[in-house]
Amino acid sequence: MTRVLLGGGIGSGKSAAAEVCAGLGAVVISADRASHDVLAPGDPAAVAVGERWPEVVSGDGVVDRAALAEIVFGDAGELRELERITHPAIVAAMARRVAEAGDAPVVIVEVPLRGDWFGPGWTRVVVDAPDEVRVRRLLERGMSREEIARRMSVQPARAEWLESADHVVDNSGDRGRLEAECRRVWAALLGGGTGHAPR
């Protein structure tokens, strides 16, 4: 069994790479999806967020994630507080999903941050693209340059992601190139070939 942490900075293309890997047969688990679940109305983490930032929660307990992001991505201290509240619940939710995957040959957990999420035995795959490519993609999604700068400032730098990688998916090109890169790394995960992109 192969267990993979799939990471990379905002705009690198983690979700697109995860989609390709799902098509190759991986069970894919998303930290972002888990974060949505733990902020559902009535969840203990959502209640704690409402107590800390009441202005982002409606009367029926729905967390306005965009308003929350505006607060925490503008202040590193606020972001750490949000992570303190939500991170344990997100990790627990993903761990349950990993357990539910049973003996699936490849399980990939898509994560936005570095770290030992589930202990030893996990292979780290990083989706990489130059910063200017990431910025262009995010602008095309409708984000402002100011918002992009805020998000990038609180995430690991590109070099930090790369230094932690066991395998690298080069996503500096188009979708076809990404698919080829994912197939190359997939082969490496299953025991053949190299996981580092040619330079």
Report pLDDT digits (tens) over 4-25: 999 999 999 999 999 999 999 9
Flag whether pLDDT at 193 surpasses 60. Answer: no
Alpha-helical (H) ranges within 53-107 are 65-72, 76-100
Q: What are the backbone angles phi and psi of residue 15, rounded to the nearest 5°? A: -65, -40
Predicted pLDDT at 103:
85
For the chain, how many residues are written? 199
In the numeric block, which tokens belong to residue 47? 């209640």
CB atoms within 10 A of CB 115: 12
- Percent of the chain at pLDDT > 90 equals 73
| Residue of 85, 82, 83, 91 lying closest to 116 (CA atoms) | 91
Residue 192 has a pLDDT of 52
| Structural contact between residues 197 and 170, judged by C-beta atoms closer than 8 angstroms | yes
Structural domains in the chain plus CATH codes = 1-26+105-199 (3.40.50.300), 34-103 (no CATH)
User: Could you tell me the two tokens for 62?
Assistant: 């729905």
Where residue 13 falls (left for φ over 0; alpha for ψ -120 to 50; beta otherwise) is: left
User: Could you give the CA distance from residue 73 to residue 69 in angstroms, rounded to a whole number?
Assistant: 6
Q: What is the pLDDT of residues 81-124, one digit of tens each?
A: 999 999 999 999 999 999 999 888 999 999 887 877 888 889 99
Q: Say if residue 142's pLDDT is above 90.
A: yes
Find how far residue 25's CA is from the centre of its chain: 19
Amino acid (1-letter code) at residue 156: P
The amino acid at residue 164 is S
Q: Is 5 helix (H, G, I), strand (E, B) or coil?
A: strand
Q: Which amino acid is at 75?
A: D
| pLDDT score, position 113 | 78
